[in-house]
Amino acid sequence: MQAYTGKILHVDLTTGRSKIQTFDDAFAKMYIGGTGFGIKTLLDNQKPGIDPFDPENPLIYALGAVCNTMVPCGASKFGVFAKSPASNLLGEAYSTGQWGAELRSAGYDILVIRGKAAKPKYIWIDDESMQLMDASHLWGKTAWETEETIRKDLGDEYVRVSGIGQAGENLSRIACLINDHFRAAGRTGLGAVMGSKNLKAVAVRGTYDTCVADVPKLQEFCKDLYERARGPKTSKYRTLGTAANVLAMNKQGALPTRNFQAAMFEGAEKISGEYLNERYVTKIEGCSACPMRCEHIAVVREGPFTGATARIEYEPTMAFGSNCGVDRMDAIIKSVELCDMYGLDAISAGMIIAFGMECFERGLITTQDTGGLDLRFGNAEAMVEMVRKMAFRQDIGKVLADGVRPASKAIGKGSEAFALEIKGVELTGYDIRGLKTAALGYAVSRRGADHQRHGSYGPDMDGRVDRFKAEKSRGKIVVGDEDNYAIFDSIILCKFSRGIWNGYDEIAKIYTMVTGIPYTGEEMRKTGERINNLARIYNIREGLTRSDDTVPPRVMNDPIPSGVSKGSRVTQEDLDILLDGYYEARGWTPEGVPKSEKLKELDLEGYESILAGKRK
Amino acid sequence: MRLIVQYLGPIQVKLDKKEEEINVDQGLSLFSLLRYLSESYGDWFGNEVLENNEKHLREGVLVTVNGIASGQIGGLEAKLKEGDIVTILPFFAGGG
Amino acid sequence: MVRHKFVTVDPDKCVGCRICEYVCSQEKDKVFNPTKSRIRVVRIYPTVNASMTCRLCEDAPCVVACPRKALEQSKENGVILVNKDKCNGCGWCIEACDFGAIVLDPSKKVVAMCDLCQGNPKCVEWCPEEALELTSRDLLSQKARLGAVKKLVEASKTQS
């Protein structure tokens, strides 16, 4: 097989030793890379039921199959996997930039980190060799300072670093991993897993070749793909960027506002993509081998947050903007910058602060708890300060730093009623009360509340289906979307580029051109299905049941108060209809456990023993 | 009949206009409205909204009538009525 | 020499996507390996991106520095030619180059630099932002002159 290095590096931080394991075509063909490799490796290497901060929780990096090649929008993508401290179920997060390509150049496709170092260390991988380097002078530094210092220490400006800031050191369950300055493997708290191992970063440098199977065919196909990537199917990402969604979502009554109290925000214009690009965006940058380039870098040039610089997308704009009732773009940029520096998931951080604001306005917490901050909706300065307090676990930040689920338990007084989370992971930028297909996607998403494992708000928003109605048939739609995205997350291809690919057949074609491994479109679809079932097996093993596939109390009980989606909510009846349809479409029991025929069909019979006892 | 047409995203930026009231024939279809706007503003408008100028919205463009997505009211064949608010929005998934 | 064409970058357009690195190593060495590419991207956070390659200097310092006279500058197109038998990978040329445009291939142990791909540079062909240009010092100075005068004319229009 070509392109793959075929090598897995296992590092044991307790003993300081490492070993190399190899994998073959058969493994590559079954799981492809990225999410397939990550979930499989986690399932097979983690003792069932352990605590996410147990040293034996493996922190796994897995590259996409087409890493370090010129395949558009795929050269540097990687996934990170572990048992999540937020959900106590599958933790997975994806990032891009330059780090992924570098790991492959260094000779590895998968990195498995176990154990716990006695003192802070960072892993340094230099063309296959691995060393554990002293990181005591890095502990307490931001993610940016860490990257800079490591490059200086090693005397090499091309070293790529994926690491944590202070939030990960403080084991915040929403801590993330930052690489290449602006990129994050953001969700499910994997930064805390790294921190729990006394590990500060993974630094990589590589000079090995990546060869592909069919150079002329690949070049020809890439020529065409690059054209498509510069065409109308990607124009939105290249012009206004995803922040253009703010006004569109607002118009559709689907923009989370003030902790999901409403779905329309009166300040939407001031946090819109149009406003952002007009006043703040200085440059649009790109990741490795990306002909699209979509990273809108925004800089604040006046006011109290002058100098704040961050890459701005729709999600953090919603999380720190409409959802916190804040209509100040400069405060949003500052908050995202702090999240990048301290290593916090920007989506979760914004969502949690919104929760804190509602607690404050209801008098459940006071200025005593907030260290004097007037934590009301709309108070931009308080919001920015609260990001710091969460990173350093100060005042109520101590409790908020772990997510809305533990925070609402700690604060109590009925605050669970407005904790917007599923499986312990905060919701993202779609008010699913008025998007019933998306609601299903969120309810069943394998890593907790998430739009990125399915993208099923698409059929709701574009009117293919009646978004205000729950129907059994949505199950099939979500299954199709999930399987498609599982392939995107394995090859790994940027989802912003999905418009340029004409179905599984083309993806199979490019996979074979790169790796030499024969693959049909139908086989791709089946692999996507296999990966989603594998994730389900893992989650069930770690304790998941049907009751975890749900929506937050507010989504169920509080209808959207006004606008085009007025009156919408997802009732228990809705949820049952949606789940029944989904489980049936998946070939799972009514409790959501894959049936043995399904396992056989997907060559996963080896895991039958895990599920046998769970089927009623 | 009077209609209100609202613009978001790149079209709003290019037209430098968020909203306008226009007067068109009674019972005009959504598709005909888009073609009429394309004739007024230029080919680029049609290319932005329609797939190859066919009766099919370009991917990533939503058109709503009184807040409801076109797909739910009969697609581009849907007939408009007096006072309808037609909104053309860019919509694309993902984002952070 | 002023007319000799080389590949130069417009830093306002470059987004640091590194496609030039991938196509260069693919074209010259048949592999994907940015460390073998004769054009390299430099990114300085937050927003500076520029790729650098051989600028075909007049009186190229690399040629002067080589202790074994393994480098020669072509009179025809100004490209630096490497005599693989004489080059021993000592790296003096790399130190002499002001632009970091010379790479030392670890497997071949001889240096390499941009040779313009027989007059049709692949990096220029593939750059999605059209940030790379095959141009000469003569043409660059023309462009700058024209641009400056145009700006003055525009400015005087708004004043009156």
Residue A398 has pLDDT above 60, yes or no: yes
- pLDDT tens-place string over residues C117-141: 999 999 999 999 999 999 999 999 9
Lowest pLDDT segment from A222-236, A345-359, A558-572, A573-587? A222-236
Residue B93 has pLDDT above 60, yes or no: no
CB-based contact, B18 to chain A, within 8 Å: no
Q: Which CATH architecture has domain B2-90?
A: Roll (3.10)
CB-based contact, C36 to chain A, within 8 Å: yes
In the predicted model, what is the mean pLDDT of residues A479-508? Answer: 93
Closest among A37, A284, A286, A60 to A177, alpha carbons compared:
A60
pTM above 0.90, yes or no: yes
Joined tokens for residue A485: 């995205």
List the domains of chain C with CATH numbers.
Answer: 5-159 (3.30.70.20)
Please tell me which residue of chain B has the smallest CA distance to A312.
Answer: B96
Beta-carbon count within 10 A of A329 CB: 24
Interface with B, mutate which of A240, A292, A296, A339 (most B CBs under 10 A): A240
CB-based contact, C31 to chain A, within 8 Å: yes
Query: pLDDT-based confidence at C1, cuts 50/70/90?
Result: low
Joined tokens for residue A476: 């099939």
In the predicted model, what is the mean pLDDT of residues A113-124? Answer: 98
Please report the pLDDT score of residue A389 as a whole number.
98
Contact B44, B14 (CB under 8 A): yes
> What fold characterizes domain A242-419?
1.10.569
A359 sits in which H/E element: helix A346-361
Contact B67, A251 (CB under 8 A): yes
Beta-carbon count within 10 A of A603 CB: 11
CB-based contact, C30 to chain A, within 8 Å: yes
Residue C154 has pLDDT above 60, yes or no: yes
Rg (CA), chain C: 18
Please report the pLDDT score of residue A174 as a whole number.
98
Contact A36, A511 (CB under 8 A): no
Joined tokens for residue B72: 């739910």
Give the whole-angstrom CA distance, residue A463 versus residue B68: 8
Give the whole-angstrom CA distance, residue C59 versus residue A50: 67
Please state, in angstroms and as integers, the Cα–Cα distance from residue B40 to each residue in A208, B3, B33, B43, B88, following that order: 57, 15, 11, 9, 16
**In three state form, how does the secondary structure of A250-266 look?**
HHCCCCCECCCCECCCC
Residue A74 has pLDDT above 90, yes or no: no
Please report the pLDDT score of residue A616 as a whole number.
77
Q: Do C19 and A208 touch (CB under 8 A)?
A: no
Residue B96 has pLDDT above 50, yes or no: no
Please report the pLDDT score of residue A287 as a whole number.
81
Domain boundaries, chain A: 7-205, 242-419, 441-612
Give the total residue count for chain C: 160
In the predicted model, what is the mean pLDDT of residues A454-470? Answer: 92
Query: Which amino acid belongs to residue A130?
Result: M
Three-state DSSP at A151 gives helix
Q: Which CATH architecture has domain A441-612?
A: Orthogonal Bundle (1.10)
Please report the pLDDT score of residue C23 as a whole number.
96
Give the whole-angstrom CA distance, residue A362 versus residue A11: 48
Rg (CA), chain B: 13
Query: pLDDT-based confidence at A189, cuts 50/70/90?
Result: very high
Q: Identify the chains in contact with C, defined as 3+ C-beta pairs within 8 A.
A: A
C108 CB-side CA count, 13 A: 15
Please tell me which residue of chain B has the smallest CA distance to A464.
Answer: B71
Work out the percent of chain A whose per-residue pLDDT is above 70.
100
A500 CB-side CA count, 13 A: 28
Please report the pLDDT score of residue C136 as a whole number.
93
Backbone angles phi, psi at B65, to 5 degrees: -120, 115
In the predicted model, what is the mean pLDDT of residues A141-149? Answer: 98
In the predicted model, what is the mean pLDDT of residues A117-140? Answer: 97
Domain boundaries, chain B: 2-90
> What fold characterizes domain A7-205?
Aldehyde Ferredoxin Oxidoreductase;  A, domain 1 (3.60.9)
Please report the pLDDT score of residue A476 as a whole number.
97
CB-based contact, C86 to chain A, within 8 Å: no
Q: Do B9 and A462 touch (CB under 8 A)?
A: no
Q: Which long-range contacts (CB under 8 A, 24 or more apart) does B29-34 make?
A: B29/B76, B29/B77, B29/B78, B29/B79, B29/B80, B30/B63, B30/B65, B30/B70, B30/B75, B30/B76, B30/B77, B30/B78, B30/B80, B30/B86, B31/B55, B31/B76, B31/B77, B33/B3, B33/B5, B33/B80, B33/B86, B34/B63, B34/B76
Contact A541, A88 (CB under 8 A): no
CB-based contact, C104 to chain A, within 8 Å: no
Please report the pLDDT score of residue A587 as a whole number.
97
Chains C and A: 3 or more CB pairs within 8 Å of each other:
yes
Query: pLDDT-based confidence at B95, cuts 50/70/90?
Result: very low
Q: Do A181 and C22 touch (CB under 8 A)?
A: no
Residue A450 has pLDDT above 80, yes or no: yes
Q: Identify the chains in contact with A, defined as 3+ C-beta pairs within 8 A.
A: B, C
Give the whole-angstrom CA distance, residue A476 versus residue A499: 21
A122 sits in which H/E element: strand A121-126
Give the whole-angstrom CA distance, residue A98 versus residue A95: 9
In the predicted model, what is the mean pLDDT of residues C22-35? Answer: 95
**Cα-Cα-Cα-Cα dihedral sign, residues A37, A438, A348, A245:** positive
| Secondary structure letter of residue C61 according to DSSP | H
In the predicted model, what is the mean pLDDT of residues A382-393? Answer: 98
Q: Which residues of B touch A233 (CB under 8 A)?
A: 59-60
Query: pLDDT-based confidence at C160, cuts 50/70/90?
Result: low
- pLDDT tens-place string over residues A563-576: 999 999 999 999 99
Closest among A523, A480, A600, A608 to A32, alpha carbons compared:
A523
Q: What counts of helices (H) and strands (E) characterise chain A?
A: 25, 17
Contact A319, A347 (CB under 8 A): yes
Closest among A32, A75, A77, A41 to A59, alpha carbons compared:
A41
Q: Which residues of B touch A314 (CB under 8 A)?
A: 94-96
DSSP assignments along A210-243, one per residue:
B--S-HHHHHHHHHHHHHHHTSGGGHHHHTT-GG
Three-state DSSP at A580 gives helix
Q: Do A232 and B8 touch (CB under 8 A)?
A: no
